């Protein structure tokens, strides 16, 4: 998955300082000519100012350059409406020397917070909630956190919204676990936004570039939201991976499952499974599925998701995918299909060599980084596998990022 730069793949955000030049005038996302009012300062969208058609052409060209050695790259599946697709929105909070509270993203290459009222690619409801939280801070005497001095409270706000359910989670990332008048604060924000289903305090008191700390305290609702994809319901916790563009994700997953070509009998491995999304959808068409994932919160969600969807032919393991596969291969175990969806850094040789030992008939590789995909395909195609199909999906309009489903078949 590619992320807008303000919250990168690992959830990291760069250390920040306030943009003291910020004025009280708050520009809206679009200028009269339709371009982004923040483009020059924010730098989150690499393709700002380029028509969407042209963006798709550029992505296709780059994919062709990187992947055509392995076969034909199918035409990229773009969005009908490429705006406001992000259902995970994050804003960093800070205060200028003049005492103005600002919230938004980092100016590219700096530690300055660009004050953003609404963003062209973020969900509009999420942006409105962030603005209203900003508006409440003074009356509740909540100060923004200063990383240099450790003084203040509010560091970030993270909003996650279900695409089909409309459920909204607000995560307040604080430097300490105590939010003064927390019940009244929640009441005030819910009065403005009754659509909020849960509010969580995330405690991050470390000098770190990571947005989220380890501790979550639910102050309203269940502490998670649910969303639906491809006929399954998924639980999403504050730190679990869930694609930021659920609309396009449905097409991506449908393609991955179609490539697996399941007939109800296969043993399938869903590696880097997150909250179990792809594996649970696959389980309906397979004999048995094994999901493996490093993040313990995501695995907890995956187990709950299996129960929630009444799916019993899936087992999840909280482990490094490479180590898990090596052990399976050493035990001489086999699999019919391996579906793998690694982070941007791609897979590793321990994992890939174990895939070769397990010798599944099919490998379905879901990738958010064509460069690491090309590297990993090079390994697999040198070891008995042939790329049969590669289909890109645009999950990240206005940015250079792209998802690709590659399907490989074992040659002998």
Q: Which residues are annotated as a binding site for S-adenosyl-L-methionine?
A: 243, 272, 293, 341
Residue of the chain from 121, 170, 306, 321 that contacts ligand SAM (CB under 6 A):
321
Contact status: 295 vs ligand SAM (CB under 6 A): yes
- Give the span between the Cα atoms of 77 and 60, in whole angstroms: 10
Cβ nearer to ligand SAM, comparing 200 with 321: 321
Secondary structure (H, E, C), 169-236: EEEEEECCCCCCCHHHHHHHHHHHCCCEEEEEEEECCCCCCECCCCEEEEEECCCCEEEEECCEEEEE
Cβ nearer to ligand SAM, comparing 118 with 277: 277
Give me the catalytic one of 36, 45, 95, 368: 368
Q: Is 250 helix (H, G, I), strand (E, B) or coil?
A: helix
Nearest C-alpha neighbor of 284 from the set 270, 299, 264: 264
Stretch that binds ligand SAM, among 77-85, 92-100, 177-185, 293-301 (CB under 6 A): 293-301
Q: Assess contact for 285 and 257: CB atoms under 8 A.
A: yes
What end-to-end distance do the CA atoms of the chain give, in Å? Answer: 32
Stretch that binds ligand SAM, among 149-157, 209-217, 294-302, 388-396 (CB under 6 A): 294-302
Contact status: 78 vs ligand SAM (CB under 6 A): no
Tokens of 40: 């020059």
- Give the span between the Cα atoms of 102 and 94, in whole angstroms: 5
Contact status: 46 vs ligand SAM (CB under 6 A): no
- Give the span between the Cα atoms of 47 and 43, in whole angstroms: 9
- Give the span between the Cα atoms of 11 and 150, in whole angstroms: 21
Residue of the chain from 343, 359, 381, 388 that contacts ligand SAM (CB under 6 A):
343
Tokens of 222: 């269940």
Residue of the chain from 37, 199, 298, 373 that contacts ligand SAM (CB under 6 A):
298
Contact status: 293 vs ligand SAM (CB under 6 A): yes
- What is the side-by-side strand order in the sheet with 362-367? 314-318, 288-293, 267-271, 337-340, 362-367, 403-410, 385-393
| Residue 104, beta-bridge partner list | 92, 115
Cβ nearer to ligand SAM, comparing 131 with 165: 165
Q: Count the site residues for ligand SAM by CB under 6 A.
A: 21
Q: Is 282 helix (H, G, I), strand (E, B) or coil?
A: helix
Closest distance of CB 2 from ligand SAM, Å: 10
Contact status: 297 vs ligand SAM (CB under 6 A): no
Q: Can you count the helices (H) and strands (E) in the chain?
A: 10, 17
Closest distance of CB 273 from ligand SAM, Å: 5
Closest distance of CB 258 from ligand SAM, Å: 16
Cβ nearer to ligand SAM, comparing 198 with 295: 295
Stretch that binds ligand SAM, among 45-53, 93-101, 105-113, 336-344 (CB under 6 A): 336-344
Stretch that binds ligand SAM, among 11-19, 73-81, 82-90, 235-243 (CB under 6 A): 235-243
Residue of the chain from 274, 346, 360, 370 that contacts ligand SAM (CB under 6 A):
274
Cβ nearer to ligand SAM, comparing 220 with 272: 272
* 368 is known as an active-site residue: yes
Contact status: 294 vs ligand SAM (CB under 6 A): yes
Residue of the chain from 185, 224, 241, 407 that contacts ligand SAM (CB under 6 A):
241
Contact status: 277 vs ligand SAM (CB under 6 A): yes
Closest distance of CB 4 from ligand SAM, Å: 15
Burial class (CB in 10 A: 0-12, 13-18, 19+), 117: middle
Contact status: 226 vs ligand SAM (CB under 6 A): no
Residue pointed to by tokens 């899936």: 314
Q: Assess contact for 13 and 211: CB atoms under 8 A.
A: yes
Please give the residue ranges that form the binding site for ligand SAM (CB under 6 A). Answer: 1, 241-243, 272-274, 277-278, 292-295, 298, 320-322, 341-343, 368
**Residues designated catalytic:** 368
């Amino acid at each position: 998955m590619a992320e807008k730069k303000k919250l990168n793949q690992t959830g990291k955000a760069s250390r920040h300082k306030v943009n003291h030049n910020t004025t009280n005038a708050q520009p809206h996302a679009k200028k009269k000519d339709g371009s982004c009012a923040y483009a020059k300062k924010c730098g989150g969208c690499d393709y700002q100012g380029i028509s969407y058609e042209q963006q798709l052409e550029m992505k296709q060209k780059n994919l062709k350059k990187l992947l055509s050695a392995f076969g034909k790259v199918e035409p990229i599946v773009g969005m009908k409406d490429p705006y406001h697709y992000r259902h995970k929105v994050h804003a960093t909070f800070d205060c200028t020397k003049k005492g103005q509270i600002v919230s938004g993203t980092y100016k590219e290459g700096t530690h300055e917070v660009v004050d953003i009222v609404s963003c062209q690619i973020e969900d509009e409801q999420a942006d409105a909630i962030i603005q209203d939280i900003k508006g409440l801070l003074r009356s509740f005497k909540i100060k923004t956190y200063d990383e240099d001095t450790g003084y203040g409270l509010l560091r970030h706000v993270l909003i996650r919204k279900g695409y089909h359910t409309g459920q909204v989670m607000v995560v307040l990332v604080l430097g300490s676990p105590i939010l003064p008048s927390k019940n009244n604060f929640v009441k005030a924000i819910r009065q403005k936004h009754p659509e909020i289903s849960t509010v969580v305090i995330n405690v991050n008191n470390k000098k770190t570039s990571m947005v989220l700390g380890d501790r979550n305290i639910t102050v309203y609702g269940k502490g998670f939201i649910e969303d639906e994809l491809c006929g399954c319901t998924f639980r999403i916790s504050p730190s679990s991976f869930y694609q930021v563009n659920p609309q396009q994700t449905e097409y991506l997953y449908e393609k991955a499952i179609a490539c697996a070509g399941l007939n109800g009998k296969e043993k399938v491995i869903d590696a880097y499974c997150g909250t179990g999304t792809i594996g649970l959808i696959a389980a309906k068409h397979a004999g048995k599925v094994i999901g493996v994932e490093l993040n313990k919160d995501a695995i907890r969600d995956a187990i709950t998701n299996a129960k929630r969807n009444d799916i019993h032919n899936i087992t999840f393991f909280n482990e490094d995918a490479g180590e898990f596969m090596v052990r399976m291969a050493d035990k001489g175990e086999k699999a019919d299909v391996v579906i793998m969806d690694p982070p941007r850094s791609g897979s590793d040789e321990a994992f890939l060599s174990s895939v070769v030992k397990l010798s599944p008939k099919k490998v379905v590789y879901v990738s958010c980084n064509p460069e690491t995909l090309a590297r990993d395909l090079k390994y697999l195609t040198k070891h008995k596998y042939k790329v049969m199909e590669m289909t890109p999906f645009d999950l990240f309009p206005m940015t250079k990022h792209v998802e690709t489903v590659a399907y490989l078949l074992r040659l002998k």
